[in-house]
Amino acid sequence: MKQKQQPLPPIKTIALVAHDGKKQALVDWCQRHKSVLDVHNLYGTGTTGLRIEKETGLGVTKLLSGPMGGDQQLGAKIAEHHIHMLIFFWDPLSSQPHDPDVKALLRLAAVWNIPVACNEATADMLLASTYMQSIMPRSLPDYDNYLADRSLDNE
């Protein structure tokens, strides 16, 4: 499959997600990085977004809660190229009833080649990157050509 270029803009749209056991850690992380995050557009799943907004004063576009479809909403926004980065503090020691949705969200982030942080250390590294304030080059699979080739197979 061919690759095409689609750079990420200097002002990123960042998705913020956390499992119940990690919500406070994400809120605390957002508070520590408030000056950096305030420049960017923030999306969050319902409860997480609400807590971040209330406790930090950051503006967050809130979607449904994860188990109610918020993870899937974020996945759709990733596929539509509206989300440029995913910060997902997941709890590896607790089972999640909506685990298939979580896996689908992480799969879409990988498919569309967006930066993902699943813990505080990685999230810190992403924010420290020079790409946070500049255009970030990235390659994407050329799904348009893939789909066009598939339609020829069906004729």
pTM for the whole structure: 0.88
Q: Is the distance from CB of 105 to CB of 79 less than 8 angstroms?
A: no
Whether the per-residue pLDDT at 146 is higher than 90: the answer is: no
Whether the per-residue pLDDT at 4 is higher than 80: the answer is: no
pLDDT category, 151, cuts 50, 70, 90? Answer: low
pLDDT tens sequence across 47-96: 999 999 999 999 999 999 988 999 999 999 999 999 999 999 988 877 66
Asked whether the CA dihedral 143, 149, 151, 153 is positive or negative, the reply is: negative
pLDDT tens sequence across 121-135: 999 999 999 999 999
Show the domains of the chain with their CATH numbers.
Answer: 10-136 (3.40.50.1380)
Mean pLDDT of 140-146: 78
CA distances from 108 to 47, 118, 129 (A): 22, 14, 22
- Pick out the residues of the known binding site for substrate: 19, 23, 45-48, 65-66, 98
Residue length of the chain? 155
pLDDT category, 153, cuts 50, 70, 90? Answer: low
Instruction: Let me know if 71 is a catalytic residue.
Output: yes
- Pick out the residues of the known binding site: 19, 23, 45-48, 65-66, 98
Closest CA to 16 of 50, 55, 39, 67: 50
Of 20, 28, 38, 71, catalytic: 71
